[in-house]
Structure 1
Amino acid sequence: MRMMHNFFRIGGVAADLPHGWIDKCLDFCDYFFTGVVEYQKLITRNPIFLEWVEGIGIVSGKEVLSFLFCDFIL
């Protein structure tokens, strides 16, 4: 965790965003969105990546619902 627990306070946070942060964030979004199609191809069609991740962390639908709803509805 990069943020310390005392950063969050009642009514907000300890410090506001630095000047220019929003512009830098929007610039990054523009940069990132131009490559989304390429990133998707790298992940969905890359046999090395698929071999690395297929079959890892398989959970059933019932397990997912129990995680989401903390067993309240099951």
Structure 2
Amino acid sequence: MRMMHNYFRIGGVAADLPYGWIDKCLDFCDYFLTGVAEYQKLITRNPIFLERVEGVGIIGRDEALNWGLSGPI
């Protein structure tokens, strides 16, 4: 929360992105995209991963309404 109150200013933010940040971000995107197919295979067919995430994040309709959540049912 400290950053949220101190970082944003009228007309912008407290500081611009550091020099070279955009290039590093684009380099990472290129690097990451080359492995997406491998990551997908590791996750979608991995029985250990699937066992660990099965049922995680499921919220029933009544609980969602009680928490004020929205989105597809």
* Number of residue equivalences: 67
* Structure 1: gaps spanning 5 or more residues: 70-74
Which amino acid is the alignment partner of residue 59 of structure 1? I
Residues in 2 aligned to 1:28 and 1:35: alpha-carbon distance in whole angstroms: 11
- Secondary structure of 2:56's counterpart equals coil
Structure 2 unaligned runs (5+)? none
Shift in alpha-carbon separation, 1:25–1:58, aligned structure 2, 3 A: same
Identity %: 73
Q: TM-score normalized by structure 2?
A: 0.75
Q: CA RMSD in A?
A: 2.4
TM superposition shift of 1:60: 4.3
